A and B are shown apart, each in its own frame.
Chain A
Amino acid sequence: MVAFLAKRLVLMLATMLVASFVVFAVSEFTPGSVARKSLGPFATQEQVDILTEKLKANDPLPVRYGRWLGVLVGAIPDPLQDPTNGLNFSDPRGARYFGNFGYSTLYKLPVNDVLWDRLGNTAILAGLAFALIVPLSILFGVLSGLKEGSGLDRTLSVLCITFTSIPEFASGVFLVTLFVILWPVLPGTSPLDPSGGWSVPSQMVLPVAVLVIYDFGYVARMIRVSMIEVMEKPYIRTAILKGLSPRQVILGHALRNAMIAPFTVLLLQLNFLISGVVVTELVFAYPGFGRMLLEASLFGDISTVEAATLVTVAVAIVTQLLGDLGYMALNPRIRLR
């Protein structure tokens, strides 16, 4: 088990390194230099040249990547924060510490000040959505999987497929029209700031609803298939024949086995919820991680994009790990490995 976890940890670090290098290399192709972005569009070329020189931004790519890694682990101070370059960038944590993601050229703040705040907001959004998606999809999946082809199965399937096929921007606009304009009971945007007269919880309702509507049907379909498969297994027939109530059969025998495959799918939804909520965050002006990643990418704010990449990769690998561990717990045969 220890060896397994250690192997996973090494794999995770390697993946993050590769991903961060790829982002670094790709950012080469976006127009505009770090110096230009720090100084703004109307600085003179002379000023930009001087800063480029100071930041050594013309060094070869591997050298600059090495420097970025050095800043990240705290081996060298962040060159953008050097007081001699006159940018007035400063980080209350100092210029040199472990986990220093550098300075955001878009938000003009240390990346650590933007990133964790935004990630926290998205985690709340994703957590609430996940907390609804899991029971809803299990309920819908199990109910329709119990009797394949029944009226209930057909109805629920149509419902699930319809919801899943509505894109988030469409359901967002639809919900806003219904609950904000025609029947004004909810706020139309979610800046997470209560001073507009709408409480923060009320601002969560619509974005969470959009995510749940988009996502739960897909997971329910996965659970349905798995449930159908399990319900055809001989041990279910045995259980029914030996006189157990349907409730005992489903909860005691079927559900655990039926959840093995969908479990991974469910955990993958966490990835989607952390980094795939861009559309929802845009529609509701939600100050989240997805919108930050989008804005930073469009602006070419490399420090922020790098940090966000590392977080995204970490989330993906950790959920994968959790998936595997959960798989082991649910299916004893896998534990032997």
Chain B
Amino acid sequence: MKAGQLHRRSFLRFATLLGLSAAVAYEAIGEVDPTLSAAKADELPKGGNLRIGMRCMEIKSPHLADFAERSNVIRQVCEYLTFTGRDNITRPYLLEKWEASDDLKTWTLHLRKDIKWHSGRPLTADDVVWNLKRVSDPAVGSSMLGLFTGYLVEEYETGEKDKDGKPKKSSRLWSDKAIEKVDDHTVRLNAFAPQVAVPEHLFHYPMFIIDPAEKGSFGPGSNGTGPFELVEFTVGKSAKYKARKDYWGEGPHLDTFEFIDLGDNPGALISAMASRQVDGLSEADAVQINAMKNFPHVQVLKVETTQTAVARMRPDHKPFGDKRVRQAMRYAIDHDKVIQTSLLGAGISAEDHHVAPSHPEYAPLPKYGRDVEKAKKLLAEAGYPDGFEIDMVTRPDPMWEFNTTQVLAEQFKDIGVKVNIKALPSAQYWEVWTQVPFSLTAWGHRPLAIMTLALAYRSNAAWNESGYSNPEFDKLLSEAEGILDANKRKVVMAKIEALMQDDGPIVQPFWRVFSTVMDKKVQGFKLHPSQYIFANECAVSA
């Protein structure tokens, strides 16, 4: 590694990308792979039951998993091809290794040969090909489609017209050879454009490898390659698991594992921890942590994430069609005050472009702060000298989201924008989140910024809630996705970030610090920035 030229994390990322194992890459920079040193699996106690408090939402299909909670229920049974560690470095998982061609268009995925489904059948390349093809089918509706679009999946016009007379669009794999079986344990991805984030994409929430025989369904008894078998699952109540004896990977150290649904009331979670009815929570916000940190049996865990919330504005609705209005909204915000008020300080300031300082491709831009005068001037130029009034849709829980909306609304008031907060229950919010002109949406952690950008801002992406469509942005993003050299990619990222600050559809106040609590008897648990829970790593002492 040439001193100073490459960020440490970038080096690790690209060393592993090129087929070096994470352990070897860490060795090259004189460190020990943190996942290896932390996992002294042999020393963990064996047996017992672990209960974690988490919402148990209904699950339609693993390939449609959208919330961390939903995917956590599936994760104990089904697995990913890759694994992005807590250090944001992606390693092979069901894969033994991967190889990328120099132009980043051909990816060869080598499957481990020692993996068996619960049913006893070995995992084969056919299974993997079926899964990759299924998530690429627009009829399935998986958000993987948004990630695959631009290198494996292309858009085409169906020939039909919609109500407004515009041609209807759909997506398909760009070629029959896009996802190809080489032999029983090798799969090749043949892309039409270079893509650097393939290993990270394969760790995205819904990219579970499921048994083709189950046709995409999931429930108790479902087949999987994972460490546990799902025994019982009741929406709104619990998910119960039994450890599998012949698991190929680490653990499971527990005999049984449970998720318990304690409802939406944050107080009930504290009560359940206090009386040890659960051994941990999937998430606890700053207020809950304050209430629980003094319990003698509780340990607090924190991890920096790229979780965030964005106030996104649809440019196809008035008044957000004018980019000066969107800029004014950005200048109206005092990021630090939002963090103090709505997160009790548990966050770091963001720069309105959805690329976090902890992302390896982050390029620092000149900072800009709150500027009410400038915002007012921009509004006046756009034809709103007295500001305007607008509805902002949000959810009443989690609390930090609602608080953020309120603080933002207060700050928008200072530039003459009157915001009426419309709080919708979560279920109804997710009905309209891609349609309403102005809303606040929480976004999960992604190891690479280009992943979030591709999911949320590429034209016509499945999760493009703001309806943002900018050919220049799409072009720059595709360009960034194809650059291997970190320094060169940062040059493009700087352009993307500046474009988002100039033209983008979001006001983004912060990056969250994610926290939770566990009973001190829980061992081996490592808080993952994605909120992913891997019960096979956990153990309980008597």
Contacts and interface: CB of A to CB of B under 8 A. Distances in A.
B427 A188 contact: no
Contact of B272 (A109, A188, A282): A188
Interface stretch (A241-249, A293-301, A321-329): A293-301
Nearest to B432: A31
Contact of A285 (B66, B262, B432): B262
B25 interface: no
> Contact residue range for chain A?
35 or more
Interface in A144-187: 172-173, 176, 180-181, 184, 186-187
Contacts, number: 125
Interface stretch (B137-145, B332-340, B360-368, B530-538): B137-145
B108 interface: no
B237 to A, nearest CB: 6
Interface residues of B, number: 45
B272 A285 contact: yes
Interface in A283-316: 283-285, 287, 291, 295, 298-300
A84 interface: no
B217 interface: yes
Given A108-B235, A287-B236, A43 B141 contact: yes
B267 interface: yes
A188 B431 contact: no
A58 interface: no
Interface in A79-96: 88
Contacts of B267: 172-173, 176, 283
Contact of A107 (B49, B58, B265, B463): B58
Summarize A's interface: helix, strand, loop or mixed.
Answer: loop
Nearest to A107: B235
A186 B277 CA distance: 11
Interface centre among A30, A37, A40, A180 (most CB of B within 10 A): A40
Interface string A24-52: 00000011100011011111100100000
Contacts of B237: 191, 287
A300 B263 contact: no
Contacts of B235: 106-109
Interface in B155-200: none
A208 to B, nearest CB: 16
A60 interface: no
B512 interface: no
Given A195-B49, A282-B265, A298-B425, A32 B431 contact: yes
14 contacts: A31-B424, A32-B428, A40-B64, A41-B430, A42-B64, A172-B267, A184-B275, A186-B275, A187-B272, A191-B238, A191-B277, A282-B264, A285-B268, A291-B263
Interface of B: 49, 51, 58, 60, 64, 66, 138-139, 141-143, 217, 235-238, 258, 260-265, 267-268, 270-278, 295, 424-425, 427-428, 430-433, 462-463
